[in-house]
Amino acid sequence: MLSAWRYGMPLRFEIGNKFPSFSLKGEDERVMSFEELSDGMPLLLVFYRGPWWPKWQVQLSELVEFHRSTNVAYCRVAAVSVDPPRVQQAFRAGLGAKFPFLSDQDLELTEALGIKETTDKIHGPLPVPFTFALLPDQTIFRIFNGWYFVGRPTPEELRQTIRDLMGRTVK
C-alpha cells in the first residue's frame, strides 16, 4: 500500500484503508455523514483553507465547473474547511456551487486524519489541503497532497481519477 507523507512523516491514512466515518455540518447547518454524501457512489472530498485565499478561489471555481460532469458521471463532490457554516454558505453561493460544503470547525476530522498544519500562525490551525478520492464503501482510492498549489488536482486529473474509480466500481 502507498502511504501519504507530509514533512517526511507518514500520515494516519493509506490508500486502500477505509476513510474515517464522520458526520459534519453542511453550509445549511444540516449534519451529514460521508456515507450519506456519497449515496453509494464514489466521493471526491476536497479540503480547502478558506474563501479569503486566492488559490482556493481559483481551485474551487474550477471544481464548480468540473462538478457539472461529476454529477452525470455518478460521482459526488464535497468541500471541507474549518470555516463556520455561515461563511461556507456565502462562499458557496458566491461560487455558484451545487455540491455541499462541510464544516470541520472543531478540527475533529483534521485531527483524526493527522493533516493539521500549524505553521500558519495567522489563520491556523488549518487542514493541509488534501483531496481524497473515495470508493463507494469509503475506501481511500487516491490521495492528492495540495500543500503546494501544484499538488492540488486539476480537473483533468480528477476526471482521470473518476474514470479509474468507475473501472473499480462498475464490473
pLDDT of residue 1: 36
Of the candidates 30, 4, 9, the residue with the CA atom closest to the CA atom of residue 130: 4
Distance separating alpha carbons of residues 82 and 76, to the nearest angstrom: 20
Cis bond leading into 125, ω under 30°? yes
* Other residues' Cβ atoms within 10 Å of the Cβ of residue 143: 18
Which residue's entry shows cell 498544519? 117
pLDDT reading at 133 higher than 80: yes
Residue 160: C-alpha distances to residues 7, 51, 157 (Å): 27, 27, 5
Supply the DSSP symbol for 4: E
In this predicted structure, what is the pLDDT of residue 151? 76
Helices (H), ranges, 2-154: 34-38, 54-72, 85-95, 108-113
Residue 22 neighbours by CB under 8 Å, 6+ apart: 33, 34, 108, 109, 112
Q: What pLDDT shows up at residue 13? A: 77
CA gap 94, 48 in Å, rounded:
16
The reported pTM is 0.87
**Burial classification of residue 23, based on how many CB atoms lie within 10 Å of its CB (0-12 exposed, 13-18 middle, 19 or more buried):** middle
Do 103 and 25 form a contact (C-beta atoms < 8 A)? yes
Mean model confidence pLDDT for the chain: 85
Of 38, 33, 9, give the one whose Cα is nearest residue 115. Answer: 9
Q: What is the pLDDT of residues 40-58, one digit of tens each?
A: 999 999 998 877 777 778 8
What would the pLDDT profile of 69-113 be if each residue is shown by its tens digit? Answer: 887 778 999 999 999 999 999 999 999 999 999 999 999 999 888
